[in-house]
Amino acid sequence: MALSPKVSVKEDITLIVLQDCPPELNFVADVFQKIGQLGVDVDMISLAPSQGSNTSVSFTIADADLDKILSFTSELRDKVRVKAIVSSGNCKISVYDPNMVNAPGLAAQVFAAAASVDCDIRLITTSEVDISLLVTAADAPETVKALKSKFSA
C-alpha cells in the first residue's frame, strides 16, 4: 500500500530536559503525577537509558504552561539535585500515516529530509503511525517544506 503521510505543525512548544534523575520508575511516575496536578499537558516524552545512578527525562509542554512548571523544576533541583534545561519557542512537526506500520525506511526518509535543510532537531518521538520532530521555530518552515516536498508525490 502506498504511503502519503500528512505533515502537521504545532507551534509554541517548550522542551524540558531533567538531567541527573534517579533511575527508578517511581521517580518518573511521581514527576509526571505532579505535573498533571499542576494542570499541565505533557506531549512528547523520552526517557534515556540509565547511566550509572542517573538518567534523564525529556518532555514537551505548551509555552503557555511554562510558568506553572518552573517552581516545580526548582523544587526538583533543591530537593533531588535534578538539573532542568528549558528551551521554549520550538515547533513539533508530525509526519503521520495510518499505513506506516510496516513501512521500513520511512524514518530514514524523514530524517534525510530534515537533514537536507540542516534542521536542529531537539527531540524525536515515534509511534507505529507517527514520527514527531521537535525543532527550533527558526528551522520549522524549511523543515516542513522539505518534508512536504518529500512526501507529495
From the candidate CATH numbers 1.10.3720.10, 3.30.70.260, 3.40.640.10, 1.20.810.10, the one assigned to the domain spanning 6-11+90-151: 3.30.70.260
Question: Given this model, what pLDDT does residue 140 score?
Answer: 97
Question: Given this model, what pLDDT does residue 2 score?
Answer: 67
DSSP letter, residue 147? H
Distance CA 152, CA 144 (A): 12
Q: Cβ(101)–Cβ(140) under 8 Å?
A: no
Residues of the chain with CATH 3.30.70.260: 6-11+90-151, 12-88
Q: How many CB atoms lie within 10 A of CB 127?
A: 11
From the first residue on, what is the mean pLDDT of each consecutive set of 10 residues in the chain (153 residues)? 85 97 93 97 93 92 96 92 96 94 89 96 94 97 95 72
Class of domain 12-88: alpha beta
